């Protein structure tokens, strides 16, 4: 490590995200500023079964189909899919300024549990393991389709994040073309691999394990860390300690450990402000375009919007939309709060 006069807990500075090449502005002195803006109301407690819910077992969905009486996980084609399996294969161009191209794919919805009033973190470790198994099955099956290049598994949790329903569920979008966020991460991991003959996230992991300033929780196979370059106040990154590019490279023990860390991290989030913590979370894994991608390191991003309480969220607006992301509370302080 270089000798540095920069005080990361006091001086205004910028941090580099090596996965995306983006910079985040950190202003630690500003975390005490007063707040008189919008506060959000938290969720009302739902029941174990909701006859109106389109995801509960046996119920009718908005598209008219009925859900089976499922007892663990249940995956189906999204009735309002943003990507469709077929369509015209063409481009549209107007000079060198207007450009568009056709895109195809599939969208799936995954119910984590038949029970309407639970969250991922409230499921038992064994139940979360079943969710991970279903994610893996979907990743492999969708990836085997030669028309699919990338599989994005994610969850919008909580009304604040735009989730349409409190029933524990997530989504899976499979694209013909690798989406831009994954293209960026792919490029940066590939460049690092070429320059260093080593995996970027394996090296990052080793640094975090040595410094132990930003680790929130860990087990034998995984760590959960507030990344050095986090932009959301309590953003975290979950990484397998042994290199794996995708879910299909985890053995049974590894999947159990993944379930354990997802439960622990989710429980810590829920305890932080004593509220069922809203977030967008998702998995980034090796594209399924038939290429090897040895530099890809499987990880999960958690992007929670909350800033200082159950009711005060961070908005990515103003400078963030016009210049770049900015944060006040440092990642090290956020990690300490999540550990506490
Ligand atoms: P979100 O809560 O993250 O929006 O996910 C719910 C998804 O479920 C959403 O994409 C789909 C919506 O299109 N859905 C169905 O496929 N069938 C339904 O009956 C309602 C919702
Ligand atoms: Zn339900």
Cβ(322) – ligand 1 distance below 6 Å: no
Tally helices (H) and strands (E) across the chain: 6, 16
> What are the pLDDT digits (tens) for 26-57?
999 887 666 566 655 555 577 999 999 999 99
What is the distance between the alpha carbons of residues 249 and 272, in angstroms, rounded to a whole number? 32
What is the distance between the alpha carbons of residues 94 and 71, in angstroms, rounded to a whole number? 52
The average pLDDT across 51-77 equals 96
> What are the pLDDT digits (tens) for 272-298?
999 999 999 999 999 999 999 999 999
Q: What pLDDT is recorded for position 114? A: 98
% of the chain with per-residue pLDDT over 70: 95
Query: In what helix (H) or strand (E) does residue 223 lie, and over which residues does it extend?
Result: strand 222-225
What is the distance between the alpha carbons of residues 67 and 96, in angstroms, rounded to a whole number? 48
Position in ligand 1 atom list of the atom nearest CA 62: 19
The protein residue whose alpha carbon is closest to atom 11 in ligand 1 is 78
Cβ(171) – ligand 1 distance below 6 Å: yes
C-alpha 149 – ligand 2 centre gap (Å) = 32
C-alpha 156 – ligand 2 centre gap (Å) = 15
DSSP structure string for 99-139: EEE---EEEEEEES-S-TT--GGGS-HHHHHHHHHHHHHHH
The average pLDDT across 93-121 equals 96
Given a cut of 80, whether residue 191 has pLDDT beyond it is: yes
| 1 pLDDT tier (thresholds 50, 70, 90) | low
Q: Which residues are catalytic, by number?
A: 169
Which residues does residue 52 pair with via DSSP β-bridges, in sequence order? none
Q: Is 174 exposed, middle or buried (0-12, 13-18, 19+ CB in 10 A)?
A: buried
Q: Output the six-digit token pair for 309.
A: 């309480």
- Give φ, ψ of 152 to 5 degrees: -110, 115
Q: What is the CA radius of gyration of the chain?
A: 21
Given a cut of 60, whether residue 326 has pLDDT beyond it is: yes
- Give φ, ψ of 297 to 5 degrees: -115, 115
In 3D space, the residue among 308, 42, 301, 311 whose CA is nearest the CA of residue 158 turns out to be 42
Q: Is 144 exposed, middle or buried (0-12, 13-18, 19+ CB in 10 A)?
A: exposed
Query: How many other C-beta atoms can be found within 10 angstroms of the C-beta atom of residue 143?
Result: 21
Q: Output the six-digit token pair for 195.
A: 């320059």
What residues sit around ligand 2, an ion, with C-beta below 5 angstroms?
50, 53, 55-56, 116, 167
Q: What pLDDT is recorded for position 33? A: 62
Q: What pLDDT is recorded for position 30? A: 84
Position in ligand 1 atom list of the atom nearest CA 107: 10
Cβ(59) – ligand 1 distance below 6 Å: no
Report in angstroms the alpha-carbon separations of 224 from 239, 268, 300. Answer: 7, 11, 9
Q: What pLDDT is recorded for position 138? A: 98
The average pLDDT across 257-277 equals 95
What three-state secondary structure class fits 306?
Answer: strand
Q: Under the phi-then-psi rule, with left for phi > 0, alpha for psi from -120 to 50, and beta for the rest, what region is 39?
A: beta
C-alpha 60 – ligand 1 centre gap (Å) = 13
Write down the residue that tokens 């979907």 correspond to.
Answer: 138
Q: What pLDDT is recorded for position 21? A: 96
CB contact at 8 A, 45 and 118: no
Given a cut of 70, whether residue 2 has pLDDT beyond it is: no
What is the distance between the alpha carbons of residues 339 and 106, in angstroms, rounded to a whole number? 38
What is the distance between the alpha carbons of residues 293 and 309, in angstroms, rounded to a whole number? 40
What is the distance between the alpha carbons of residues 312 and 35, in angstroms, rounded to a whole number? 9
CATH superfamily of 14-340: HIT-like (3.30.428.10)
What three-state secondary structure class fits 308?
Answer: strand
Torsion angle of the four alpha carbons 263, 265, 268, 274, in this order, in degrees rounded to the nearest 10? -70
Torsion angle of the four alpha carbons 224, 273, 233, 328, in this order, in degrees rounded to the nearest 10? -140
This prediction has a pTM of 0.95
């Amino acid at each position: 490590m270089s000798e540095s006069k920069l005080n990361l807990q006091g001086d205004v500075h910028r941090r580099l995200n090596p996965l995306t090449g983006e910079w985040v502005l950190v202003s630690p002195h500003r975390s005490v500023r007063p707040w008189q803006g919008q506060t959000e109301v938290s969720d009302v407690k739902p029941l174990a079964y909701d006859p109106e819910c389109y995801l509960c077992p046996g119920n009718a969905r908005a598209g008219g189909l009925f859900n089976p009486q499922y007892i663990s996980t249940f995956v189906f084609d999204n009735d309002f899919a943003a990507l469709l399996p077929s369509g015209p294969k063409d481009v549209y161009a107007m000079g060198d300024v207007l450009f568009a191209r056709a895109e195809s794919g599939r969208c799936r919805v995954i119910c984590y549990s038949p029970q309407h009033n639970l969250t991922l973190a409230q499921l038992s470790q064994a139940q979360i393991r079943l969710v991970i198994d279903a994610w893996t099955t979907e990743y492999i099956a969708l990836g085997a389709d030669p028309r699919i290049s990338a599989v994005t598994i994610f969850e919008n949790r909580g009304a604040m994040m735009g989730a349409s329903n409190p029933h524990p569920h997530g989504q899976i979008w499979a694209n013909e073309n690798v989406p831009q966020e994954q293209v960026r991460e792919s490029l940066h991991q590939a460049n690092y691999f070429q320059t260093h003959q080593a995996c970027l996230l394996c090296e990052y992991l080793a640094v975090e394990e040595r410094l132990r300033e930003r680790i929130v929780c860990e087990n034998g196979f995984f760590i959960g860390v507030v990344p050095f370059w986090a932009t959301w106040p309590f953003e975290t990154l979950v990484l397998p300690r042994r290199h794996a590019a995708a879910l299909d490279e985890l053995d049974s023990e590894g999947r159990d450990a993944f379930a354990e860390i997802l439960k622990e991290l989710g429980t810590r989030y829920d305890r932080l402000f004593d509220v069922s913590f809203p977030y967008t979370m998702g998995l980034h894994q090796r594209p399924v375009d038939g290429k090897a991608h040895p530099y890809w390191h499987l990880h999960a991003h958690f992007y929670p919007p909350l800033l200082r309480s159950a009711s005060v969220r961070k908005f990515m607006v103003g400078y963030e939309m016009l210049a770049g992301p900015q944060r006040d509370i440092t990642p090290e302080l956020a990690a300490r709060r999540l550990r506490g």
